[in-house]
Amino acid sequence: MIDKRILATFLILISSMVFSCDEEYEVFEGGEFSLRLNQPKRLIDGSVLELVGVEDSRCPENTNCVWEGRSAVKIRWTRNETYDIDLNDVEYIHVQVEEYLVTLVEVNPYPTTGLTIEKVVKIKIELN
């Protein structure tokens, strides 16, 4: 007869492995992804997305600027190869990577004067 403590420990271990695996993967086809700087996301196909750089020179709210500025991001997508993808909200909103179209959806929060806040970047990847 199996000791109940061993069986309980085994069941807890298996269930924690199952639930932890679900949390680290993101859905892929046509999906939008929110990325934070240096926090990689593993996609369901095994590839990895990582936000490696953010530049935000947009004119802060409640200020007057000569130039409206722009937001730009660098994303590293590791599949069979590694792709460094540069996107911005002025010229390069969409970039083709193999058979996929990668789109910059938004960079948040919008700049405000006197505050430095961690940026969250939303991108979309769809089969093209």
Task: Summarize pLDDT for 73-98 with one digit per residue, the tens.
Answer: 999 999 999 999 999 988 889 999 98
Cα–Cα nearest to 100, from 70, 117, 123, 69: 123
- What pTM value is reported for the model? 0.73
pLDDT in tens, 7-64: 555 545 554 444 444 445 665 666 888 999 999 999 888 899 999 999 999 988 888 8
In this structure, what CATH number is given to the domain that contains residue 38?
2.60.98
Give the pLDDT score at 15.
47
Is the sign of the CA dihedral 36, 44, 86, 68 positive or negative? negative
Give the pLDDT score at 24.
56
Percent of the chain with pLDDT over 70: 77
Whether residue 51 is contained in a domain is answered as yes
Show the domain range for 33. 27-127
Give the pLDDT score at 12.
56
**What integer is the mean pLDDT of 96-111?**
91
Residue 34 backbone phi and psi in degrees, to 5: -95, 130
127 DSSP 8-state letter? E
Whether residue 20 is contained in a domain is answered as no
Alpha-carbon span 60 to 112, nearest angstrom = 5
Q: Report how many domains make up the chain.
A: 1
Give the pLDDT score at 44.
85
